[in-house]
C-alpha cells in the first residue's frame, strides 16, 4: 500500500524585454552548491505551499506530514507547509516526538508549566527544564539537587517575624518553634523566607526533615533520633551543627548538608559534631574563630562510630580541625584545610575507648596546617593531596607519624622521607595562598602529577578531572 502524491507543476515562461532576460520566478535551488551549479540566485526560494523539486517550485498535496519533506514538513489543508497551524500537525516530518504543540508556526514541547513533567517542571521557550531557583516554582521552593518544585502542601513556611500560632502556610508563615510543631511525614519540608532566625532547631523524629534556605539560623541545629534524617540546603548557621543517635546501639540518624556555612567562636559549642551518625557534607564551609576542636567525628564505645563523607568542605581553624575517634570512618575529597593549630593539626587520630578508626583523604589542599599520625591502631590514607606550611616557625616536617600512609602527595616543607611517589619541598604555585586562593598556576609541579590509577571525576569547583594528560594533585584541577 502506498500514498499517492499529487504534484502540480507551475509553468511560468521567460519574459523578454528590451533584450534582457528575467530570472524564472519558478526556479529554485536547495543549497549554495546547487545554486552555483544551476546558475540560480541564492535568494530564489519557493513560497508557502511550494517545495523545490528538480529546481522547480511545485505544489505538493499531502494527507499527513509523512507525505512532506524536511523543507516543508507540515501538512496544512492538504499542502506541505514550512510552518504549522495547529497542534494536530505536530511534530511534522522529521520533528521530535516530544514537540506536540504548535506555537507561532513551530512545534514545541510545552506552552506553559502544565505541559511539563514533575522532573522538568519549567516551560522555557517551548522546552521543559528543571527548576534552578525558588522563583521558578509557584510554591516558592525549588529542590536544586533534584531540579523539581516542592509541593506547597508539603511545606511549612517560616519567617523571622512569623506567628507562633499560624498554620505555617505560604500566605501566613510561622516562627521556627511553631514550624517544628507542625511538621510531620506529610509535611516534611521547612522553607525559610530569608533573614535571621534565633533559636534552636532540634529534630528528634524518625522521618526525613528537609530545611531549605536562604536564611541564617543561630545557636543550635541538631538531629537526635533513631534513624531519622535531617537534610539542610542553602543555609548559614551561626552556632553549632550536631548529629547524635538517641541512645547507644540504636539506628544511626543521617545528617545531610549541602551548600551550608557554619561559623562560631566556640564559646557555646564547637561548630560540628557527630556521634554514631551517617554524615554527608557537600560544599560546606566550617569556620572556628576561637580555640578548640572544630569538628568531632566519633561514636559510642562498642556500638560503632560515625560514617562521615566530606566533599568540597572548607575547614578554617581548630586544633585539631577534625577529631576522628571511636570506630568512626572518614572519607574526604576535594576539600581545603586552613590554619589549624600546631598541637593536634588538621586531623587528630584519637583512639578513644573504641579504637580502630579508619579514614582516607584525597585530592585536598592543606595550608598552614600539620598532619600528625601517632596513633598506632588508627589508619589514615593520604593520596593526591597538597600539604604546604608557610606559617612562622613552621617545623621541618609538615606530616609526621606512622599511622598515615602517603602516596602522590606534594609536601612542603618535608625533611623526612614519606614514600617514593611523593613530591617533597616543591612550591605548588598557588594563585594567592595568602588570600585563600589555592588554584594552581601554570608550571605547578602538581599539574598532571596525581596517581595515574585515580578515578575522581571533578574538583572543588566542579571542574572535570582530568584537564590534561593526568589528574592534578590538590583540591583544584588546573584549567588552561
What average pLDDT does this structure show over 171-191?
96
Is residue 436 within 8 Å of 408, Cβ to Cβ?
Answer: no
pTM, rounded to two decimals = 0.83
pLDDT at 202: 93
The confidence band for 302, taking pLDDT boundaries of 50, 70 and 90, is: low
pLDDT at 25: 66
pLDDT tops 60 at residue 18: no
- Cα–Cα distance measured from residue 444 to residue 462, given in angstroms and rounded to the nearest whole number: 20
Distance CA 193, CA 40 (A): 64
pLDDT at 37: 84
Give the whole-angstrom CA distance, residue 151 versus residue 139: 6
Average pLDDT of the segment spanning 471-480: 96
Residue-level pLDDT at 14: 35
Range in 21-30, 134-143, 182-191, 320-329 with the lowest mean pLDDT: 21-30
pLDDT digits (tens, 9 = 90+) for 306-319: 999 999 999 999 99
Give mean pLDDT, residues 273-293: 96
Worst-scoring range by mean pLDDT, 7-11, 159-163, 341-345?
7-11
Q: Is 380 exposed, middle or buried (0-12, 13-18, 19+ CB in 10 A)?
A: buried
Task: Say if residues 233 and 256 touch (Cβ distance below 8 Å).
Answer: no
SS3 for 193? Answer: coil
Find the range with the poorest average confidence among 3-7, 36-40, 314-318, 340-344: 3-7
pLDDT at 6 over 70: no
CB-CB contact of 146 with 212 (8 Å)? no
Lowest mean pLDDT among 3-17, 283-297, 357-371: 3-17
Mean pLDDT, residues 370-394 taken together: 91
Provide Rg for the chain, Cα atoms: 32
Which comes out higher in pLDDT, residue 412 or 56?
Answer: 412
Answer for the pair 184, 208: CB distance below 8 angstroms, yes or no: no
Check pLDDT > 60 for residue 3.
Answer: no
How far apart, in Å, are the Cα atoms of 210 and each of 2, 150, 188, 363, 410?
A: 59, 11, 6, 30, 40
Q: What percent of the chain has pLDDT over 90?
A: 74
Could you give the CA distance from residue 41 to residue 233 in angstroms, rounded to a whole number? 60
The residue written with cell numbers 509535611 in the block is: 187
pLDDT at 69 over 90: no
Q: Which helix (H) or strand (E) holds 224?
A: strand 216-225
Higher pLDDT, 303 or 379: 379
| Residue of 53 and 266 predicted with greater confidence | 266
According to DSSP, the β-strands at 254-264 and 229-245 are: parallel
Average pLDDT over residues 21-26: 58
Model confidence band, residue 17 (pLDDT cutoffs 50, 70, 90): very low
User: CA-CA distance, 426 to 437, in Å (whole number)?
Assistant: 18
Confidence of residue 31 (pLDDT cuts 50, 70, 90): confident
Give how far Cα 18 sits from Cα of 21, 22, 379, Å: 9, 11, 98
Distance CA 183, CA 369 (A): 43
d(CA 291, CA 320): 9
> How far is the C-alpha of 134 from the C-alpha of 266, rounded, in Å?
33
**Pick from 206, 214, 212: nearest CA to 184:** 206
pLDDT reported for residue 303: 65
Residue 33, all three cell numbers? 552548491
CB 228 within 8 A of CB 203: yes
pLDDT at 279 over 80: yes
Average pLDDT over residues 243-247: 87
Per DSSP, the residues of 396-457 read SBSEE-SSEEEES-EEESB-S---TTSEES----EEEGGGTEEEEPTT-TTTT-S-TT----
Strand partners, 52: 57
Please report where in the chains the cell 585515580 appears, as a residue. Answer: 454
Q: Which candidate, 198, 195, 312, places its Cα nearest to that of 259?
A: 312
Do 191 and 171 form a contact (C-beta atoms < 8 A)? no
Q: How far apart are CA 120 and CA 425, in angstroms?
A: 51
pLDDT band at 54 (very low <50, low <70, confident <90, very high): confident
pLDDT beyond 60 at 7: no
Mean pLDDT of 402-414: 96
Q: What is the average pLDDT value for the chain, to the nearest integer?
A: 90
Question: Residues 434-446: pLDDT tens digits?
Answer: 999 999 999 999 9
- State residue 11's pLDDT score: 36
The mean per-residue pLDDT over the stretch 354-360 comes to: 77
Helices (H) and strands (E) in the chain, counts: 2, 41
Task: State yes or no: pLDDT of 2 exceeds 50.
Answer: no
Sign of dihedral through CA atoms 417, 422, 426, 431?
Answer: negative
The burial class, CB within 10 Å (0-12 / 13-18 / 19+), for 118 is exposed
Amino acid at each position: 500500500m502506498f500514498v499517492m502524491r499529487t504534484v502540480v507543476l507551475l509553468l511560468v515562461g521567460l519574459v523578454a524585454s528590451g533584450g534582457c532576460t528575467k530570472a524564472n520566478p519558478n526556479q529554485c535551488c536547495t543549497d549554495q552548491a546547487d545554486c552555483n551549479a544551476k546558475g540560480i540566485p541564492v535568494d530564489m526560494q519557493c513560497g508557502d505551499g511550494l517545495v523545490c523539486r528538480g529546481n522547480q517550485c511545485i505544489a505538493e498535496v499531502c494527507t499527513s506530514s509523512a507525505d512532506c519533506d524536511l523543507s516543508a514538513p507540515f501538512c496544512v489543508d492538504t499542502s506541505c507547509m514550512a510552518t504549522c497551524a495547529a497542534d494536530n500537525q505536530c511534530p511534522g516530518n522529521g520533528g521530535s516526538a516530544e514537540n506536540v504543540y504548535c506555537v507561532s508556526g513551530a512545534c514545541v514541547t510545552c506552552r506553559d508549566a502544565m505541559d511539563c513533567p514533575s522532573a522538568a517542571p519549567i516551560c522555557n521557550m517551548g522546552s521543559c527544564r528543571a527548576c534552578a531557583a525558588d522563583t521558578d516554582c509557584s510554591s516558592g521552593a525549588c529542590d536544586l539537587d533534584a531540579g523539581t518544585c516542592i509541593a506547597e502542601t508539603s511545606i511549612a513556611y517560616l519567617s523571622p517575624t512569623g506567628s507562633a500560632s499560624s498554620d505555617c502556610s505560604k500566605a501566613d508563615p510561622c516562627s521556627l518553634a511553631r514550624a517544628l510543631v507542625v511538621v510531620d511525614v506529610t509535611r516534611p519540608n521547612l522553607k525559610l523566607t530569608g533573614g535571621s532566625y534565633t533559636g534552636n532547631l532540634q529534630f528528634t523524629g524518625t522521618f526525613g526533615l528537609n530545611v531549605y534556605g536562604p536564611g541564617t539560623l543561630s545557636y543550635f541545629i541538631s538531629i537526635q533520633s533513631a534513624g531519622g534524617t535531617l537534610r539542610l540546603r542553602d543555609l548559614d548557621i551561626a552556632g553549632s551543627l550536631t548529629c547524635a543517635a538517641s541512645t547507644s546501639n540504636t539506628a544511626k540518624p543521617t545528617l545531610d548538608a549541602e551548600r551550608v556555612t557554619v561559623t562560631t567562636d566556640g564559646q557555646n559549642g564547637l561548630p560540628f559534631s557527630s556521634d554514631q551518625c551517617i554524615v554527608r557534607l557537600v560544599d560546606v564551609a566550617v569556620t572556628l574563630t576561637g580555640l578548640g576542636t572544630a569538628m568531632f567525628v566519633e561514636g559510642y564505645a562498642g556500638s560503632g562510630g560515625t560514617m562521615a563523607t566530606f566533599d568540597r568542605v572548607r575547614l578554617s581553624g581548630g586544633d585539631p580541625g577534625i577529631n576522628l575517634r571511636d570506630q568512626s570512618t572518614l572519607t574526604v575529597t576535594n576539600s581545603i584545610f586552613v590554619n589549624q593549630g600546631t598541637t593536634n593539626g588538621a586531623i587528630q587520630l584519637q583512639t578513644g575507648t573504641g579504637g580502630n578508626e579508619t579514614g582516607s583523604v584525597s585530592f585536598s589542599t592543606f595550608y598552614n596546617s600539620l598532619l600528625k599520625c601517632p596513633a598506632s591502631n588508627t589508619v589514615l590514607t593520604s593520596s593526591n593531596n597538597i600539604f604546604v606550611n608557610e606559617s612562622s616557625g613552621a617545623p621541618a616536617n609538615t606530616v609526621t607519624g606512622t599511622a598515615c600512609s602517603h602516596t602522590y602527595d606534594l609536601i612542603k616543607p618535608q625533611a623526612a622521607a614519606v614514600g617514593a611517589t611523593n613530591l617533597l619541598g616543591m612550591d605548588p604555585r598557588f594563585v594567592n595562598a595568602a588570600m585563600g586562593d589555592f588554584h594552581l598556576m601554570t608550571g605547578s609541579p602538581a599539574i598532571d602529577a596525581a596517581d595515574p590509577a585515580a578515578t575522581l571525576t571533578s574538583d572543588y569547583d566542579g571542574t572535570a578531572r582530568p584537564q590534561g594528560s593526568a589528574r592534578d594533585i590538590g583540591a583544584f584541577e588546573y584549567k588552561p
